Amino acid sequence: MCVLIQLFLTASLLLCAYGILFDEILPQYGRSLVLVGGNLALNNSLIYHKIVTLAGGLGRAKLGIITAASSNPEGSYTYYQEIFRSLGVLQTTYIPVSATNSSLAQDPATVQLIQTQTGFFFGGGDQYRIIQALKTDNGSSTPALVALEERFTKGAVIAGTSAGLACQTGTIMIRSGMSWESLRHGAHDSYSASHPDDLVYEPRGGLGFIDGYLLDQHFSQRGREGRLIRLLADTRSGPLGTNRGVGVDENTALVITHSGTPEARAEIIGQFGATFIDVSRASVINGSGYYDIRDIFVSYLTHGDEIFLSNMTITFSTSKTLMLGHEQYSRALTSADIFGGSRRNPDRKPEFVRAATSIFDSRLDRSTYGDTKKSNPRFRVTMARTGHDAEGWVERRSGFHSDITSYKNMYVEINELKV
């Protein structure tokens, strides 16, 4: 066992020997999470301070850092330790669980370490490593995960970025995949090195800190709308399937309070947004080609917007106004690379968001489409604002790409484009 792990385990035994469990400073916000879509900027003080506040506040928060997703867990811990120490937390602690050493999650010293924390932060990397570290081969909880669940129930915040977001679901957990490959080949429950871009999920599910929603990260920036839609549709009738998913954008957080209760709600904070997808009314048309799915409903929420997770009731930020009757453009936009994201030009809205937003900001069009860049087959995504409950809201800035835009209940269907 490495020296760093031994030091932290020894410290935990000393703390618990003196009975210092710190329950008295746990905040009373209910079961709360701060889930970041990845690429959390060092200057995003809003998100970092939200984590610290929910963990007890400056000078009181005791954060357990879990970096099992990383290929270099100790180096990753040092990175996050420096960030949170600079923000004024009382203490950061390395939680030594590892995909390569399953005994650590069984160790009473690890459990005792967890019991002294007021919050936990999961770093990025590969979410499957987190599952390997904290779950047994049959999918049950290790003693370390049971301790995390107990702390969460008592008020300790669960936070994470990228893989640290994806692993928190109680549904099946997404592992990898690109949107076109997902539509073309469907979902698989095991990884193949010969097909690295195929859609792969973990059937045992995630850690279970949020119920009813499949989670995805780096969402709009990497054009992952197609893969989340396909995974939801393919697995919704399975043991850990669900009709609902949320993809969180980079440098953006989903702040959830009262998770697992009828009062569970989420607020979006940060630079971009979160995409909520509902396939409860969706139908897959068999025999029409490679893939044909209809009646999907999509909402995109940005900073300050809130949603009740039980019924998907949305409240837009008071800084935004309804687009209807105040549209800035005549026609909606199309896309020749609908899942292209924004990696080539981060100053533009990602392709899916760009096309979708333009429907609500158009005076003449109520629908538009975008095609996949890849062909054989080429897929077409059709989007429409239909019905009275489809709305677009906006906080105007200097132009289309800088406007902070949100929408709800946009209709979507995906078809193989016949040529």
CA 272, CA 274: separation in Å to the nearest integer? 7
**DSSP calls for 281-318:** T-EE-TTSSS-EEEEEEEEEEETT-EEETTTTEEE--T
CA 362, CA 364: separation in Å to the nearest integer? 6
The strand ranges marked E within 316-403 are 321-322, 367-371, 379-384, 391-395
Q: Which of 171, 203, 373 is nearest to 277 (CA)?
A: 171
The strand ranges marked E within 154-197 are 157-161, 173-176, 187-188
Long-range contacts (CB closer than 8 Å, 24 or more residues apart) made by 319-322:
319/395, 319/404, 320/393, 320/394, 320/395, 320/404, 320/406, 321/393, 321/394, 321/395, 321/396, 322/391, 322/392, 322/393
Long-range contacts (CB closer than 8 Å, 24 or more residues apart) made by 401-404:
401/347, 401/348, 401/349, 401/354, 404/302, 404/303, 404/319, 404/320
Q: Which two tokens stand for residue 3?
A: 């020296």
Are the C-beta atoms of residues 378 and 370 closer than 8 Å to each other?
A: no
Question: What global pTM score does this model have?
Answer: 0.94
Kindly list the structural domains of the chain, giving each domain's residue range(s) and its CATH number in brackets, ordered by start.
3-274 (3.40.50.880), 283-296+318-416 (no CATH)
Bond preceding residue 377 cis, omega within 30 of 0 = yes
The C-alpha angle 255, 260, 262, rounded to 5 degrees, equals: 95
CA 81, CA 66: separation in Å to the nearest integer? 11
Are the C-beta atoms of residues 264 and 308 closer than 8 Å to each other?
A: yes
CA 103, CA 97: separation in Å to the nearest integer? 8
Neighbours of 85 (CB within 10 A): 13
Report the phi/psi class of residue 295: left, alpha or beta, with left for phi > 0 and alpha for psi in -120 to 50.
left
Q: Walk along the chain (419 residues) and give the pLDDT tens digit of each residue.
A: 444 444 444 444 434 433 344 555 565 567 999 999 999 999 999 999 999 999 999 999 999 999 999 999 999 999 999 999 999 999 999 999 999 999 999 999 999 999 999 999 999 999 999 999 999 999 999 999 999 999 999 999 999 999 999 999 999 999 999 999 999 999 999 999 999 999 999 999 999 999 999 999 999 999 999 999 999 999 999 999 999 999 999 999 999 999 999 999 999 999 999 999 999 999 999 877 889 999 999 999 999 999 999 999 999 999 999 999 999 999 999 999 999 999 888 889 999 999 999 999 999 999 999 999 999 999 999 999 998 899 999 999 999 999 999 999 999 999 999 87
Residues above pLDDT 90, as percent of the chain: 89
